[in-house]
Each structure stands twice: as structure tokens, then as C-alpha cells.
Amino acid sequence: MDFKLNSTSAASLRVGIQETISTAIKSIPTEDIKKSLLKYYKMSSATIKKTSILLIELLVRVLKRTTLFLTTLRNLLRKRSTPGYVNQITPTNKKIRFPSKKILKPMVLTFVAILIVVGISKLIEGIGKSVGSTNKIQIAGAKAFQEINREFSFPLRDGNDEEVSKIKYFIEKAELLDEIIVKGQRATAVEGRTFLIITLKITNEFNKAIEIDTRDYLRLSVNKNEVEWLAPDIHNDPVEIQAISTKFTRVGFPINETDRDLILRVGEINSEKEKINLELK
């Protein structure tokens, strides 16, 4: 047996539901949210702009889907209130009861709010992963630097101490920095100290890959003290250089900010050295 929805009270409830849903749909501030976010986007940095674009797109998408859902629900209820509509499932001995208008409106608005919050949380989670994997670590620029551009040639020896090829050891520049990157992490000098960083370019002319300790070829003198020579404490040794290729690397010396008369000594440990006076500006 079929049951026709021809009750006046039931129809009134459905009309109330339709009006509530229509009000909820109209109350979703899609354009206002979009305009506010766009205004914030214009005033933000490049990183925040990218985040704002994704946030705007997600919010608009969530609001559109919510609006579509509510519109579909409203149309369904309108169809059910049409005279002559027959419910094919509900038995004749049961009456359909709809929640009152006072209860339905908060339910609809709560549902919309939950959708928005869930969407934003997923976006923030995705942005956090993306930003963490793509953003570069920023450090302060050099306080002083000096272009050196000096090339040295050292013999490459095998296990029998026989020379098999040459290594080109090119000193590109020297810099004074208060911040450096060590193993992917920012390192900051303590008060009164700074870092002297030497940029190197090592060329392997051999037909096989090699590993060398770049710090073995450099020593530093400070304050005209040529009795005590400092070895680099900051380095990437051992540096692996593929066959017939060039690789950039750096070595560094932690020094006092008050240190003056800096001199580099370049050469093999057991061979003659060449001095380079540093005049960083």
C-alpha cells in the first residue's frame, strides 16, 4: 500500500524546511570570503600569496559543494511536498516527522561550518608539508667578502704514493658571515664571533671518482701570528668528486670579530705553501 503526503501540517513543515535551507544557502558568504582573502593576498608576501590562493580555491570549492548539496536537498523536499507525490517505501501505518524549523536551521549551519573547518584543516596540513619540503633556508648576507680567484694544482697519488693525475684546487672567494648552513640547518655565530667561509672549486682530472679532504690544503693565521696556524673546523670532507668533473664546496674558520691581519696558507701538508693576504671589505 502507498502513502500520500497530503497532510496540511506535514506540508507546512516541509515549506519551513525549504525556507530554512534557502536562507542557509543565501547566508553562505562566498563572495565576501573571497573578497577578504583577495585583499589579504595583495598585502602579503610571496609565500603567503601562494598559500592564500590555495585557501581561496579550497573555500570556494567547499562552499560550492555545500550550496549544491543544500540546493539538491531543497529541491527534493519541494518535490516531496508536491500534491500526488507517493512515497514508495514508507508504510501507510507510519507518519513522517520532520524536525522543527528552530532545530533544523542550526543543524544546517553547523553542517556547513564543519565542512569549512575540515576543508581548511586539510589545506593547512597540505601546505605545511609542501612548505616544509620546498622552502629554502634563508640566512643573512655576508658582512664582508673578497674575490680571490686563485688556482692551485696538486698531485693525485695512488696507494703506492705514485702520481696518477692532478687536482685543480680553485679558491673562489672569502666571506665573513654570522649565519651559515651546516648539514641543512642554520648555524648562528655566538656574540663576539663570526665565520670566515672560503668557497672552493675542485676539479678531478682523473678517469675515476676520488675523495679528498679539502681542509688539508688550507691554514689560517690571525693577528700576525704565523706560528700558530688554524685548520678549518667547518667542512664537507671527505668530498667525493666524480671522474673528469668539478665540484663546489666550502670550508670555514670560526674566528673572533676583532681578529685582523688574516692570512691564508695554501698547499699540501708536506710541501711548500703559498700565502694569500685577506683584505675583506
**Residue extents of the structural domains in the chain:** 3-134, 144-277
Q: Which residue has the cell 555545500?
A: 66
Q: Cell 685577506 identifies what position?
A: 278
For residues 152 and 79, the answer to whether their CB atoms sit within 8 Å is no
pLDDT at 130: 57
For the packed helices 8-27 and 46-80, what is the interaxial angle rounded to 10 degrees? Answer: 170
When mean pLDDT is compared across 8-12, 17-21, 27-31, the lowest value belongs to: 8-12
Question: What pLDDT is attached to residue 4?
Answer: 42
Query: What is the band of 7 on the pLDDT scale with cuts at 50, 70, 90?
Result: very low
Q: DSSP state, 80?
A: H
- For the segment 199-216, what is each residue's pLDDT rounded down to a tens digit? 999 999 999 999 999 999
How is residue 134 written as a grid cell? 620546498
pLDDT band at 118 (very low <50, low <70, confident <90, very high): confident
What is the CATH number assigned to the segment(s) 144-277?
2.60.40.1240
CB 77 within 8 A of CB 18: yes
CA atoms of 12 and 9, how far apart (whole Å): 5
Cell of 120: 581548511
For residue 34, what is its C-alpha cell? 573571497
- Which whole number is the average pLDDT over 36-58? 61
Calpha distance 156→152 (Å, rounded): 13
Read off the pLDDT of residues 222-271 as tens digits, 9 standing for 90 and up. 999 999 999 999 999 999 999 999 999 999 999 999 999 999 999 999 89
Which backbone phi and psi does 6 adopt, to 5 degrees? -120, 15
* Residue 3 binned pLDDT confidence (cut-offs 50, 70, 90): very low
pTM above 0.85, yes or no: no
Least confident of 65-69, 87-91, 273-277: 87-91
Lowest average pLDDT, out of 57-71, 82-96, 152-166, 260-274, goes to: 82-96
Across 54-58, 90-94, 182-186, least confident range? 90-94
